[in-house]
Structure 1
Amino acid sequence: MTKQEFLDFCHEEFTKRGFKKRKKTYYLNGEGILVGLYLQKSMAEAYYVEFDFFIGKFKNPKLYPTTYESDYYGRVCVLSKDIDEGDYYMTALIEYELYTPEELKPYFDKAFDEFIMPPLLEGKETVLKIMEYYDDYTLEEKENIIEKLQLDQ
């Protein structure tokens, strides 16, 4: 897939789920939580598809926070086309030229179904469950998010 085809694919995947583009980020507002999606360019012919979560009430799209202000984040992961130690592996670095939209779609669906949409649809209580999946948060970062979730109620 070309770079433009990948960008178009991402745009379609984001907008069909209700995300709206504001500058370079796609946003969707939930009850007490805002999700931002954006494509982070790599040095290679590749992108990271990052999803950022912001806890709080955000009414004015002109004042939406940036990725640098996120409370926690994750990335869409796909099965690599490279083999490491005799096997394929999951990677967040999407080398778009190696994939077709049909190959990427199941990974995007999984990311939306399991990580991105639950806090928007089910509420903030799913935030901690998702953070547990991404185990790279320190205890202090988790405590700060718990506090922020409680303050926002």
Structure 2
Amino acid sequence: MTENETVYARLKNVGNPMFLLKMSYDIRKFLQEHQVDFPQTGDFDRVFVEVSDQAFECYDAGVVKLELMPEKGSLVRLSRASLIEIAENLQIEFDKKNDESLLSSLLTELRKIKHLKEYKIILMIIDSSFQTNLKMTELVKIVINQLG
């Protein structure tokens, strides 16, 4: 199955196509507003997440703490406070002392979200601390790879 067919198969049961188009527009605009200059590798199987200056690698539904942030790759930066607020807002249980556990729990639970309308809440929460070097098409590839 091609990537487009995979996306279509996942989204056809979601609901209103106009809602999906609006969501796509909102996310594309959000990503454009939060771009950071960080070299990209084109490897969308691995995403590096920097949470308040601590580096993590996310791949195949796993999270690993890194000693140093790589010099290039797919990057997402967030504050720890934003992650905690998302987890609390979505009522996700997590270890408040362990950022790796927090990020892992959050990613696991985000995969289970049934109501896409929650995306606006998440975007509002992370707005002040979010940075990325990803474009919309790259984000779609990452989502497909992670939800595989």
TM-score (norm 2): 0.30
Higher strand share: 1
Give the helix-richer structure, 1 or 2.
2
TM-score calculated relative to the size of structure 1: 0.29
* Higher RCO by CA contacts (8 Å cutoff, separation 6 or greater): 2
